[in-house]
Amino acid sequence: MQGQADQITELIVRTGLKDRSAFDRLYEATSAKLFAICLRVLRDRGEAEDALQEVFVRVWTRADRFAASHHSPISWLAAIARNHCIDRLRARKAPARPVEEAFDLAADEPGPERLAELSSEGRRIDACMEELETDRAEAVRAAYVMGYSYEELAGRHGVPLNTMRTWLRRSLMKLKECLER
Amino acid sequence: MTGEAEDRMEDGGDELLAAEYVLGVLPLDARMAFAARLEAEPPLRALVAAWEIRLSPLNDDYGETAAPASAKAALDRRLFGGPAARETARPALWQSLAFWRGLAVAALASLAVVLIVPFTVPPPTEPSARFVAAMQADASPVRYVALYQSGTGMIDLTRLSGEPASGRDFELWLIEGGNAPRSLGVLPAGETARVPVSQQLASLVSSGATLAISDEPAGGSPTGAPTGAVLALGEMRGI
């Protein structure tokens, strides 16, 4: 795992030097992850493909900045992808999600098994999520993974927008405190 | 929670704003305003990076989905202007092309700054008005979001997709009421752009005004009016 991260780090650094074969290999190694992000957030295959291109254009032009960041290589790439896809999502004019998409959506969310699997990895963030009230932890996770806005989250949980904002803000600060403990 | 603590929470501060930005929950206008600040404020970027790293284990939830093979070919055409020539790299050629093109764009951009800066509005003292526009057009791949803040006198643009054809430029226009489009200048290359709005034009910015991007010869429209196709447009909404 560490070996793979080192390899990706090297590919990003070489991409920063405009080494095109390194860029090709970086794409091979990471496009499935970044495409999964685009697909999940945008929930539209065509748009996810466009977004993936934009993301890799940014990777190509920004790779020289990676060395100065403290990110792991995958978290750096994922941040570029999430940022771009959420920008697109928020810029949509029409109600972001037609009803029929809401059905796919349920299937997309990590099921109980997947959640258990993730928790069993004993990651620190899962332990910290468990310290939050269940519905708030779910809201944080759904916001991050699905790209829900405050408005959508408030609707899904049946609480006023301001309540949702307070929930999430408090949860985020608790998470931070727990992760730094 | 006491009312006072509630108020503090309401206020939030940059730490929380950075967390909300990374989480992705902010509406378009707040997101744009924060992104504009990010460009200018390194400490804010550090807060964002810290949250990106903190929440990054959640990326595992996404799993992996293979992208269609056509996506890489399209990406290569876009970045390198031809089908991928794997291993038989011709880096010298495209590198120098990209380099010279970049240099030309940079030169144009700095020229634009020289030309436009003297007309920039000093930040007014009255309360800041903000407008946001999501710009797109049917059958055009070009999409931008724009945020105008009277406090800065700037329009901050984020490109979501599309870029000028080789040897062409994007030009930004303000259309207000039934009047002819007024040029706000050629957009510099890059994902984000900051366009100053002259005092004269600032008075025309209002809810319902339209921002548009047209396809123009390099350096912008030679006539002062749009000459090429309108590639994206959007109405400004007060926020």
> Which of B31, B61, B142 should be substituted to probe chain A, the one whose Cβ sees the most A Cβ atoms within 10 Å?
B61
Interface subset of B 167-186, CB within 8 angstroms of A: none
Which residues in chain B have their CB less than 8 angstroms from residue A87's CB?
31, 35, 145, 158, 160
The reply to whether residue B158 touches residue A87, judged by beta carbons under 8 angstroms, is: yes
pLDDT at site A84: 96
Give the domain A109-181 fold.
Arc Repressor Mutant, subunit A (1.10.10)
The reply to whether residue A35 touches residue B66, judged by beta carbons under 8 angstroms, is: yes
Distance from CA of B159 to the nearest CA of A (A): 9
Which residues in chain B have their CB less than 8 angstroms from residue A179's CB?
54
Question: Which residue of chain B comes nearest to A166, CA vs CA?
Answer: B9
The reply to whether residue B23 touches residue A143, judged by beta carbons under 8 angstroms, is: yes
ipTM for the complex shown: 0.86
Distance from CA of B71 to the nearest CA of A (A): 6
- Mean pLDDT on B161-185: 91
Encoding tokens for residue B224?
Answer: 């002062």
Instruction: Report the SS3 class of residue B223.
Output: coil
User: Which domains does chain B carry?
Assistant: 3-60 (no CATH), 118-238 (2.60.40.200)
Encoding tokens for residue A22?
Answer: 């390194």
pLDDT at site A83: 96
Which residues in chain B have their CB less than 8 angstroms from residue A90's CB?
26-28, 31, 145
Distance CA B35, CA B45 (A): 10
pLDDT at site A5: 86
Question: Which residue of chain B comes nearest to A94, CA vs CA?
Answer: B134
The reply to whether residue A90 touches residue B23, judged by beta carbons under 8 angstroms, is: no
Distance from CA of B138 to the nearest CA of A (A): 13
DSSP annotation of B120: B
pLDDT bracket for residue B205 (50, 70, 90): confident
| Closest in A36, A91, A151 to B63, CB measured | A36
- Mean pLDDT on B47-74: 94
pLDDT bracket for residue B177 (50, 70, 90): confident
pLDDT in tens, B100-117: 455 455 555 555 554 454
The reply to whether residue B27 touches residue A168, judged by beta carbons under 8 angstroms, is: no
SS (H, E, C) chain A: CHHHHHHHHHHHHHHHCCCHHHHHHHHHHHHHHHHHHHHHHHCCHHHHHHHHHHHHHHHHHHHHHHHHCCCCHHHHHHHHHHHHHHHHHHHCCCCCCCHHHHHHHHHHCCCHHHHHHHHHCCCHHHHHHHCCCHHHHHHHHHHHHHCCCHHHHHHHHCCCHHHHHHHHHHHHHHHHHHHCC
Distance from CA of B3 to the nearest CA of A (A): 12
Give the domain A1-96 fold.
Rna Polymerase Sigma Factor; Chain: A (1.10.1740)
Question: Which residue of chain A comes nearest to B135, CA vs CA?
Answer: A91
Encoding tokens for residue B52?
Answer: 């990106």
The reply to whether residue B57 touches residue A124, judged by beta carbons under 8 angstroms, is: yes
pTM of the model: 0.72
| Closest in B28, B79, B191 to A90, CB measured | B28
Domain boundaries, chain A: 1-96, 109-181
| Closest in A89, A166, A176 to B9, CB measured | A166
Distance CA B207, CA B147 (A): 12
pLDDT in tens, B10-38: 456 999 999 999 999 999 989 998 998 99
Distance CA B169, CA B184 (A): 13
pLDDT at site B125: 43
Which residues in chain A have their CB less than 8 angstroms from residue B27's CB?
90, 149-151
pLDDT along chain A (181 residues), means of 10: 84 95 97 97 94 96 92 96 96 55 44 49 82 95 95 95 96 94 85
Question: Which residue of chain A comes nearest to B132, CA vs CA?
Answer: A91
The pLDDT of residue B196 is above 50:
yes
Q: Which of A43-57, B80-94, B148-162 has the highest mean pLDDT?
A: A43-57
